[in-house]
Amino acid sequence: MSSKKLPIGIQTFAKIREGDYYYVDKTGFARQLIERGKHYFLSRPRRFGKSLFLDTLAELFAANEPLFRGLEIHGHWDWSRRAPVVRFSFGGGIVRSREELDDKIGEQLRLNQTTLDLACTESQINACFAELLRKAHAATGERVVVLVDEYDKPILDNLSRPELARAVRDGLRNLYSVIKDNDAHIRFAFLTGVSTFSKVSLFSGLNNLNDITIDPKYSALCGYTETDLDRVFAPELVGLDRQEIRRWYNGYNWTGEAVYNPFDLLLLFDRRQFRPWWFETGSPSFLIDLLTARQTWLPQLGQLETDASLLSTFDVDRIATEALLFQSGYLTIAEEERIAGTYFYRLRYPNQEVYQSLNSALLETWTPAGAVDARRRKSLHQCLLANDFSGMQRLFTSLFASIPTDWYRNNPIARYEGYYASVFYAYFASLGLDILPEDSSNAGRLDMAVRFNAQIYLFELKVVELTPEGRALQQIKDKGYADKYRAEAVPIHLIGVEFSREQRNLVGMEWESL
């Protein structure tokens, strides 16, 4: 198989098909959607191929047959039938007011009129959109296809300003309500975005949308599967460790087949380096600020549990931590369970990239400038390699001692007693180490187990004002936390770590090796 060009950042179906780029055929999903229904909604994280899929749908309904030769849908489509397509995209730029939103919608309505060679006489946004649908249907004799990309971005851009976010939400609701009211003129509608906003708040006039976000049939609609790598990208895999590719980038799941983020793999094939390509393309500043304000317990972050309603409910006035992390791609579904008629989900980090990068970003925010640096993280790695627990104690004592008193006073997370344990955990997680937080056994729950260098490290963390000094290590021994690991026949290290909220530092550390 010969090598082709990598479609990095290309969201135009025609350019990919005409330019000798790699293409992963998603037209089977398009056929399935069109044959089974009419109004769809799909939520996926950024840079997952949503825009390319919408562009594929646009070219399909426009009956551009040459672009689809050799693809799954080619022999199953009536190429003599051409449908008018109305497209909206809110991906470009940032909307900073309701007026800017209305201007943006008005501009796109004018572009659609030009494309369809039609003119609206109505001046109001909703009236103009409705008129455009009616006229397009009448002029062509075909019902209209409506495609909306990044439907939620104007709201997400303003979540830190709730009043503006609500005004923008109302403006978008005014637009989307037209779709249901003009159902007689619509053949197919597909809306995509990052988040799943409450239907009551945003789609109150469009309650016939089929949300396929958590539908196992469409889990791989966006993203690349293991099969895609073998079938499409085989030439690019030469010289790369396949297991390392899986560990770093695979694992996103919406109750069906797991997928890779396309952007990650394309950059990996281009640069031949394992780096957090996807994470580095977007700053999760709002997410970091929210987790800080909510004093999130980091060791539990990759083990959250929720139900279906919470996972799919997102609004300006109600942003559940679980929903935000899931919909933005920082957590994915590990397990689905149905109990008493309700679906419950256990969430996890999708892969090494997200696990390591998110904890690094949180660590940098939760410690003052200069407290977290490459030198300290490298020193922790060296201490583990040498089992230098004295050096580890000096490292963390120095870290917490370097944090000014004023920073503790002015930072909400630092006043939370779990801050010390969260920072301790995040240091290990930022190195990408294999960590099992809050490891349960029949004797109790250990704070943190770390597997590294064919050895096991068991950590118990205590606050001395709440527990007598010297109890951290003793609890590991008394509870027999090491027993479940003894059969592995590898070195086991017991480490008790004690913090003081009065002294604002690590004040004790004891260890014992088995």
pLDDT in tens, 346-388: 999 999 999 999 999 888 888 876 666 778 889 999 999 999 9
Same domain, 378 and 447: yes
Say how many domains are in the chain: 3
Identify whether 502 is part of a domain: yes
**CATH assignment of the domain containing 404:** 3.40.1350
- Which of 172, 191, 218 marks a domain boundary? 218
Same domain, 121 and 166: yes
Identify whether 18 is part of a domain: no
Q: How many CB atoms lie within 10 A of CB 304?
A: 18
CA–CA separation, 75 vs 41, rounded Å?
26
Identify whether 472 is part of a domain: yes
Residue 471 pLDDT: 86
Same domain, 46 and 142: yes
Pairing status of strand 144-149 against strand 318-319: unpaired
Identify whether 4 is part of a domain: no
Same domain, 393 and 338: no
Identify whether 482 is part of a domain: yes
- Which of 348, 377, 394 marks a domain boundary? 348
Residue positions counted in the chain: 514
Q: How far is CA 305 from the centre of its chain?
A: 16
Same domain, 46 and 108: yes
Same domain, 90 and 138: yes
Specify whether the CB–CB gap between 371 and 403 falls below 8 A.
yes
DSSP state of 250: -
Give me the torsion for CA of 108, 110, 116, 121, rounded to 10°: 130
**CATH assignment of the domain containing 129:** 3.40.50
Q: How many CB atoms lie within 10 A of CB 199?
A: 16
Sign of CA pseudo-dihedral 235, 236, 241, 247: negative
Same domain, 334 and 375: no
Same domain, 74 and 213: yes
Identify whether 226 is part of a domain: no
CA–CA separation, 47 vs 73, rounded Å?
24
Same domain, 87 and 162: yes
- In tens, the pLDDT along 124-167 reads 999 999 999 999 999 999 999 999 999 999 998 888 888 999 99
Q: Tell which residue, 350, 334, 323, 194, has the closest CA to residue 264.
A: 350
- Which of 218, 241, 268 marks a domain boundary? 218
Sign of CA pseudo-dihedral 400, 401, 403, 405: positive
Residue 408 pLDDT: 77
Same domain, 155 and 35: yes
Identify whether 251 is part of a domain: no
Parent domain of 307: 285-348
Specify whether the CB–CB gap between 355 and 349 falls below 8 A.
yes
Same domain, 149 and 211: yes
Residue 160 pLDDT: 83
Residue type, 410: N
Identify whether 262 is part of a domain: no
pTM, whole model, 2 decimals? 0.91
Give, for all 514 residues of the chain, the pLDDT tens digit. 668 999 999 999 999 999 999 999 999 999 999 999 999 999 999 999 999 999 999 999 999 999 999 999 999 999 999 999 999 999 888 899 999 999 999 999 999 999 999 999 999 999 999 999 999 999 999 999 999 999 999 998 888 888 999 999 999 999 998 998 899 999 999 999 988 876 556 666 566 789 999 999 999 999 999 999 999 999 999 999 999 999 999 999 999 999 999 999 999 999 999 999 999 887 667 788 888 888 888 888 888 888 887 777 777 777 888 888 998 999 999 999 999 888 899 999 999 999 999 999 888 888 876 666 778 889 999 999 999 999 999 999 998 888 888 787 777 777 776 888 889 999 999 999 999 987 766 667 899 999 999 999 999 999 888 777 678 899 999 999 999 999 999 999 999 999 998 888 999 999 999 9
Same domain, 390 and 507: yes
Residue 303 pLDDT: 87
